[in-house]
Structure 1
C-alpha cells in the first residue's frame, strides 16, 4: 500500500505543479483541505476513494490518473545482462532485448547463428524485420533462398514458412524486430 501511496503522491504533486496550482487553489478546486492535500503529496495519508474522486473531479482528470506509474524516459540494456534462449543444439541463440508490449506491438531480439546451423522457424502472426549485423545469412521464405550479408535487411510475413541458415565459417548475428498488428475480426 505504501507504494501506491507514493504513486498517488507523485502524480498529484506533478499535476498540481505542472498546472502552477498552489495548495490553496487546489483545495478550492477540489473541496479537499489544504492540509489533506499536503499529507497526500507527502505520502503520509492514504486517501479514500471519495477523496480521490473529489480531487479527480476538481482537477478534471480521470480517477485512474493518480494510479498510473511513470514510464521510464529511457531503458538501457547491456548484452551481458541479457540471457539467451537457445535451441537444443545451442547453435541458434536469441537474446530478447525488448519484450512485446501491447502499446508498441513489437519485440526486438539479437540472434546468433553458429556455422552450419539451420534454424527452421515456426510460422506466426505478424511481420519480421531482419537486419544482418555481422556475417552472411541465408533466409529461406516458402522455399526461396535469399542471401544476405552485413548491413542487408529483409522484411516478410511471419505466416510464410521460413528458416535461417549460416553456411559460412563464422557466427552470423542479426537484429530481429517482430511486429504484431491488431487481430483482424
Structure 2
C-alpha cells in the first residue's frame, strides 16, 4: 500500500475545479499561505481545516484520504474496507463498501454497538440516503419523529433531513446505506 498524500489530493481536487490557491483559500476561510503550505506538504491541516476545504470544493472529506494508484480496483474486500472511526467513540464505525467516493453514489456499512447512537445531535447532509437494517434494531430520529426499524426494514431519508441513529437493542446493529451524492 502506498503512503497517503493528502496534500496531493487537495491539489488535484483544487485544479479539477479550476481554482487558484487564493480562490480556494478564500472559499475555505483559510489563508492562501496556509493552503499553499498544506499543498506542499509542509503543514498538516486540522480536521476542521480539511472540513472547510472539502466544503469549499463541494466534495466529501473522505476523498482526501483515498489513494489512486493508476487503474482503480473496483472490488472492495471485506478485510480491506476503508473505515471511518470517531474520536469521541471508537466503537462506532462506518465502513466504505464502494472503492471510493468519487462517483455519484456512496455505499457504506454502519455498525452501532448496543445502547449507542450515531451522534449526539440530529444532523443533516445534502445527500439522499436509503438504508437497510441487516442486524439488530434501531431507532431512527427523523425530523420530528422516531421510527423503529428492525432487521430487514429499510427507509429513505430525504436530502437535508435532520436525523440520527440509535441502537436500542442489546446486540450490535448493522445498517447498510447508500448516499447520493456522497457526503463523507
TM-score calculated relative to the size of structure 1? 0.53
Going from structure 1 to structure 2, the CA distance change for 1:70 and 1:78 (only over 3 Å counts) comes to closer
Runs of 4 or more consecutive aligned structure 1 residues displaced over 3 Å after TM superposition: 69-72
Partner secondary structure for residue 119 of structure 1: coil
Q: Does structure 1 residue 126 correspond to structure 2 residue 123?
A: no
Structure 2 vs 1, CA of residues 91 and 158 (structure 1 numbering), >3 Å: closer, same or farther?
Answer: farther
Partner of residue 92, structure 1:
92
How many aligned positions are there?
109
Structure 1 unaligned residues grouped into runs of 5+: 1-68
Question: Structure 2: where are the runs of 5+ without partners?
Answer: 1-69
Is the contact made by 1:91 and 1:117 (CA closer than 8 Å) also made in structure 2?
no
The CA deviation at 1:92 is 1.9
Kept in 2, the 8 Å contact 1:93–1:112? The answer is: yes
Structure-1 residue corresponding to 2:166 = 165
Q: Pick closer, same or farther for the CA change 1:144–1:76 going to 2, 3 Å.
A: same
Return the structure number with greater relative CO, CA threshold 8 A, min gap 6.
Answer: 2
CA RMSD of aligned residues (A): 2.1
CA deviations 1:56-88 (Å, max 9, x no partner) are: xxxxxxxxxxxxx9777xx32222111421222
Q: Distance in 2 between matches of 1:180 and 1:143?
A: 24
**In structure 2, how many angstroms separate the alpha carbons of the residues matched to 1:85 and 1:119?**
12
Worse overlay, 114-123 or 130-139: 114-123
Q: Which has the larger radius of gyration?
A: 1
Tell whether the 8 Å contact from 1:83 to 1:95 is kept in structure 2 after alignment: yes
Out of 126-135 and 81-90, give the one that drifted further.
81-90
Q: Whole-Å Cα distance in 2 between the matches of residues 177 and 142 of structure 1? A: 19
Q: Deviations over 1:115-157 (max 9, x none)?
A: 1111235311120010011111111111311111111100011
- Classify the secondary structure of the residue corresponding to 2:101: coil
Q: Does 1:115 align with 2:120?
A: no
Corresponding position of 1:27: none
